[in-house]
Chain A
Amino acid sequence: MSLRDRLTSGSFAVTAEISPPRGASTDPIAATAALLRDWVDAVNVTDNQGSNVRLASWAGSLAALHAGLEPVMQMTCRDRNRIALQSDLLGASALGIRNILVMTGDHPKFGDHPEAKPVFDLDSVQLLWTLRHMRDQGAVLSGRALKPPPDCFLGAVENPSAPPAEFRADRLGKKIDAGAQFVQTQFVFDVAAFARWMSRVRDLGLHQRCYILAGVGAVRSRNALDFMRDKVPGVHVPDDVYRRLRAVPADQTAAEGARLAAETVQQLSAIDGVAGVHLLVAGNEQAVPGILDEAGVRAVRDGG
């Protein structure tokens, strides 16, 4: 069942994120796909995540597709102008990659080429609008016709916990207006804050116009916890979560992190309007079966 069909059917969807390798081989993606295939509906393939050079998102997506796992191709506005971005959508669609996740992208400052020119010709809302225009109007921005137009299922990202909190649901509304059909959120560690955002989302009726997948991360070490809290832009790790993960011996941080992730999945799945979860586990994909098993998501999906 495709991600789109899963969401349309109303049953709980699960996606996970993987990073393509830093190297000219797609073998690691095939291995990860074999691990995740029976557990998730689709896998996000990041686009030079954190502004670090990796194998291209379209190539990684194609490798996942060949390995029998549906890809969600991530596309950032950081490295390509409107010509390249439109061209990439055509290429992806032609190769059978249907799910496209649009985001602004981290600034080059944070990656391994801080001296690079930041492109940002379009922003994420404009890119969604552009891709929808290509699909629905069958033309590129210049007006030239596409034969045939691309077929795509468009996704966006949102960070419910970042300021200005009052505007975050409206911003999702803008992305939906522009073309977003599903959204995957940034890490949710603060479930109460996420629930407040969802309440505003429901007030605006956005959950009826767009499938919402809540982002869940699994912390696997104390270093990763500190990095997440202090270095990852826009991620808010509340003090009680931080204390809980620091309270266990260092060699049990990964187990406790997975347990916390499983609990978070359960809590999020109970919130009205949440269509699924997105597991932000790039580099830690082996934790996925355990988290979903403990959260009882398999049972939910088998029953649903």
Chain B
Amino acid sequence: MSYKYLWCLILLFQVTVIAAQTPTAKKSLPLAEGNPTAVGMSPARLQHIDAMLQASVSDGDIPGVVALIAKDGKIAFHKAYGTADAAKGEAMKTDDIFRIASQSKAVTSTAVMMLWEEGKFRLDDPISKYIPEFKNPQVLQNFRYADTTYTTRPANKEITIRHLLTHTSGLGYGVIDGDERMKLIYGKAGTTDLFTTEDVSIQEVVMKLAKLPLHHDPGEKYTYGMGLDVLGYLVEVISGMPFDRFLRERLFDPLGMDDTWFYLPESKANRLVAIHHMVDGSWENYPDTFYEVNYPIKGAKRFFSGGAGLSSTVKDYATFLQMYLNGGELNGVRILSRTTIAAIMADQTGPLYGGENQHYGLAFGVLTEKGQGRGGDGSVGTFVWGGYFNTQYFADPKENIVGIIMKQTQGGTGDQTSWKFKQMVGAAVDN
């Protein structure tokens, strides 16, 4: 085959990729550097953020950090501090790549809603309609620590797609589950809960998961769990594509998120930030534990965890959030209709999520009016989440602001950058 034909094929491939998303008359520009003053942010106040982050590194609260602030689609702040890898003595760079863990959840729920927009399913459909193994769910009743045997009773209803999106299905979270019994049950069943270098598919894990007992009847409580992992597999079932390819072709390529991957291409592997922990007052590289720290760049690279598997940069993740702030569109590509985003941001779980300051949408925490009144958390409607390795983001639709701060640590560190960053970004609005 000549190169000419190969190029034709590649070109054809690109065309179908673009056609998979719908074009739109609206054309917001991709995120680009901008002058803070031009978008109504105070350079002097952004300097305060710079000083705060610098101090956090020099005080040893964090080993290193990358932060990004965008307003009105313009990047007003994008800086790196400290070290990316203590063992190698590498400085952090603004385009370094972080394990975003639970920040994967919003990406997965977006994929789910893209298929929902095509009328493929309803949010209140039982998941068993698409993954039959979830038929006849059982709730944990008695548990014996001696031999980790347990009894169950039938659940009073089926798990729906909405339950899975809102952590109300009753599914547990394996090794990080708050309930010791569940941890043991999941461990015994050999589920892969978060990060792995093993040769395992999400289908295999979801099949195991479907047989395990639930914390409670579906819809009764909010229990952070593996719902989004199940939904990653749902995307495979509905779209007929591997989940990683679906995200690449339908979301990441159209949005230009070239640094967001389950498993990094070799050419990007050296940008992966090391995980650090504090040992005797200094930051050291974190060792392999229940997962290998280098899971994004080594091993079988087959497990596409919709709940925790992605790695990304602050700019890529900001691009994803800006798409939401633009009402579902970026750079002439429509990912979601703004009417869908309205449903995503609505109160999905009522009192189950707890507290009056936030309600839970479809895989985001959303600030309520009461929450806005507390101060430092943005305007009403601000949506947020974070990840296991100490990454955080927020997007304020009223101010059209995205704020992302990524670190890569394990264990308690006295890190205060998360709340300070958010509070100071709000205070830097100057218009």
Bound together:
no
**Residues of chain B having any CB pair with chain A under 8 Å:** none
**Residues of chain A having any CB pair with chain B under 8 Å:** none
